[in-house]
Structure 1
């Protein structure tokens, strides 16, 4: 998909621009404040530019906690022993397991670099400790400010939604035709693969969109993709019945017409309520029909009924999704 490729390149460009802008700003501010090792603030910016707003704040918080722990442990060790590489090794042996234990492992590298400044100064006092905390805060805050701008992916998600619904529509209509012709579309495998790829791509974008909002419930697209992914699994199950159908009966045509109606009704806002009622009526018609006259007819009609049950699950997935969001269209 050429458009998706372009978006990814553009997104990478955003990160590069933020990094190239943020690192020198952080270093310049550090120099203006008279801090030592101002280059470290620029490195912290580089390491702190993330893909989403929520991820940026989460990583910044974890790294801040990690920095405080690292400076505390190293200060005690350096005061008791010395500023030798061996003591730094002991520091790492203590610090890394603790950081992992309290789930701030993202900050191990940044914190360790800041600790090396204490070794370079061969001193542990409030001045140098304050210097290291300020370096971290400058780098992290600059990165957070730059990360407040994230390009919206909602237009791309909406395009994916339309394409997903179009693919499901074609799959259902082709299933409808197959029910009366005992043949499968040559494009079936292509459509299923394309649907799965589009859903995976849409799911990734939905997660990015969700993580770019703090105070707005932006989980709709994420839930939508999960709903369609569940429907895809049901479609895969339904697909398997066609290999076992050997004859065509009146029920095939009835079911074919209904599946075609569902395909034509596929839409984001359709809550499937009417279709579920129609499905129950169709089930009732199946029940009052004459019993199968041969074993082959019995087996084929049983498969059709299982197919219809799967179709019911397909519609219920959408219906539950719509109910959870108050959709009554």
Structure 2
């Protein structure tokens, strides 16, 4: 059994210590509840932390005011407590504050157990909520950067793309290959995990919207769909037709240029040059040659889309840079 203490566990432990110490120093009743609220509000991202904290604070304030009024009017009895929860929970859900149900229930039970609504009790519970939520927000200010992890995903995906394109070119030349295609399933996994980490990183940015990695993984995901569509056609092409050798050379050259650098204009030009060469060739004389050239025409179209997808990402980057400079 592997024993591991993560950063979130450490933050929770420190938060519990701080919340308990502050509440106890202020001599608040049920001071341990401040620690409970802190535990509930510790989150995996900064944006989620703010949202959860607001839900819990608003639900607690609503619960405190309404339960005090209801208990004072109808009495401190289990039936009244049950009736309050029966009415309170649907209201909180309707107000889209459902994340605060558990926290507010803790505060309501404190008030019920006290058996007497007073200003001192309200202040006590209010401070417990503020200390618990405030400590959690303070702890959530620290979120480890995923930059290194994202760069690793990016590097591995590009290496897989490069190998896949190279194996495509090898198969066309040789008509056979020892490649087992492991990079296909591996790329699916890397793209999914990379996008999840990129989304988490975006949610950790409060004052800026840093989504370049998310868009990058989306771009690679669309390109990968094209590579998957090419696979059945690759198996129909072999080196006995002269045009296929030119296409294999193009794929090999493209495999060496899978990187963040923008080589799109060059390769779009290469594709256009190949198209022009195909047009100038004599018409196919055999069924085999006709089928190969048809497959090549389709794959050149798909590879053009493959390149244009990346080109659109570069254009988006340029637009954002120009906007920033304009500001």
> Shared topology, TM-score over 0.5?
yes
Is 107-116 or 126-135 further displaced after alignment?
126-135
Which among 19, 24, 27 is matched to residue 12 of structure 2?
19
Relative to structure 1, the CA distance from residue 182 to residue 32 in structure 2 (aligned partners, 3 Å threshold; closer, same or farther) is same
Asked if residue 267 in structure 1 is aligned to residue 285 in structure 2, the reply is no
- Residue 276 of structure 1 corresponds to 268
**1:325 alignment partner, SS class:** helix
Q: Give me the whole-angstrom Cα distance separating, in 1, the residues matched to 2:276 and 2:25.
A: 80
Relative to structure 1, the CA distance from residue 109 to residue 234 in structure 2 (aligned partners, 3 Å threshold; closer, same or farther) is same
Q: Are 2:173 and 2:238, in contact at CA under 8 Å, matched by a contact in 1?
A: no
Asked if residue 111 in structure 1 is aligned to residue 104 in structure 2, the reply is yes
- Residue 123 of structure 1 corresponds to 116
How far off is 1:217 after superposition? 3.2
Tell me the matched-pair count. Answer: 319
- Residue 3 of structure 1 corresponds to none
Asked if residue 31 in structure 1 is aligned to residue 24 in structure 2, the reply is yes
Q: Are 1:271 and 1:318, in contact at CA under 8 Å, matched by a contact in 2?
A: no
Asked if residue 201 in structure 1 is aligned to residue 193 in structure 2, the reply is yes
How far does the alpha carbon of each residue in 1:240-291 deviate from its partner, in whole angstroms, 9 at most, with x for none? 2234447741221111111111111111132512212222222232233222
**2:6 alignment partner, SS class:** helix
Is 65-74 or 41-50 further displaced after alignment?
65-74
Aligned CA RMSD, in angstroms, stands at: 2.2
Q: Give me the whole-angstrom Cα distance separating, in 2, the residues matched to 1:257 and 1:326.
A: 31
Q: Give me the whole-angstrom Cα distance separating, in 2, the residues matched to 1:20 and 1:218.
A: 30
Which among 176, 180, 193 is matched to residue 183 of structure 1?
176
Q: Are 1:63 and 1:104, in contact at CA under 8 Å, matched by a contact in 2?
A: yes
Asked if residue 49 in structure 1 is aligned to residue 42 in structure 2, the reply is yes
Asked if residue 64 in structure 1 is aligned to residue 37 in structure 2, the reply is no
Relative to structure 1, the CA distance from residue 90 to residue 283 in structure 2 (aligned partners, 3 Å threshold; closer, same or farther) is farther
Relative to structure 1, the CA distance from residue 247 to residue 136 in structure 2 (aligned partners, 3 Å threshold; closer, same or farther) is same
- Residue 296 of structure 1 corresponds to 288
Relative to structure 1, the CA distance from residue 283 to residue 83 in structure 2 (aligned partners, 3 Å threshold; closer, same or farther) is farther
Q: Give me the whole-angstrom Cα distance separating, in 2, the residues matched to 1:211 and 1:221.
A: 13
How far does the alpha carbon of each residue in 1:89-119 deviate from its partner, in whole angstroms, 9 at most, with x for none? 2222222222222222111111111111111
- Residue 311 of structure 1 corresponds to 303
Q: Are 1:271 and 1:322, in contact at CA under 8 Å, matched by a contact in 2?
A: no
How far off is 1:172 after superposition? 0.6
- Residue 211 of structure 2 corresponds to 219
Q: Are 1:177 and 1:256, in contact at CA under 8 Å, matched by a contact in 2?
A: yes
- Residue 94 of structure 1 corresponds to 87
Q: Are 1:38 and 1:135, in contact at CA under 8 Å, matched by a contact in 2?
A: yes
Relative to structure 1, the CA distance from residue 244 to residue 253 in structure 2 (aligned partners, 3 Å threshold; closer, same or farther) is closer
Asked if residue 135 in structure 1 is aligned to residue 150 in structure 2, the reply is no
Q: Are 1:99 and 1:105, in contact at CA under 8 Å, matched by a contact in 2?
A: yes
Relative to structure 1, the CA distance from residue 22 to residue 257 in structure 2 (aligned partners, 3 Å threshold; closer, same or farther) is same
Relative to structure 1, the CA distance from residue 299 to residue 38 in structure 2 (aligned partners, 3 Å threshold; closer, same or farther) is same
Poorly superposed stretches of 4+, deviation over 3 Å: 243-248
Q: Give me the whole-angstrom Cα distance separating, in 2, the residues matched to 1:253 and 1:244.
A: 13
Relative to structure 1, the CA distance from residue 260 to residue 129 in structure 2 (aligned partners, 3 Å threshold; closer, same or farther) is same
How far off is 1:123 after superposition? 2.2
Q: Give me the whole-angstrom Cα distance separating, in 1, the residues matched to 2:275 and 2:290.
A: 16
Asked if residue 238 in structure 1 is aligned to residue 233 in structure 2, the reply is no
- Residue 324 of structure 2 corresponds to none
Is 53-62 or 289-298 further displaced after alignment?
289-298
Return the TM-score normalized by structure 2: 0.90
Q: Which runs of 5+ in 1 are unaligned?
A: 1-5
Relative to structure 1, the CA distance from residue 21 to residue 248 in structure 2 (aligned partners, 3 Å threshold; closer, same or farther) is same
**1:88 alignment partner, SS class:** helix
Which among 305, 317, 324 is matched to residue 325 of structure 1?
317
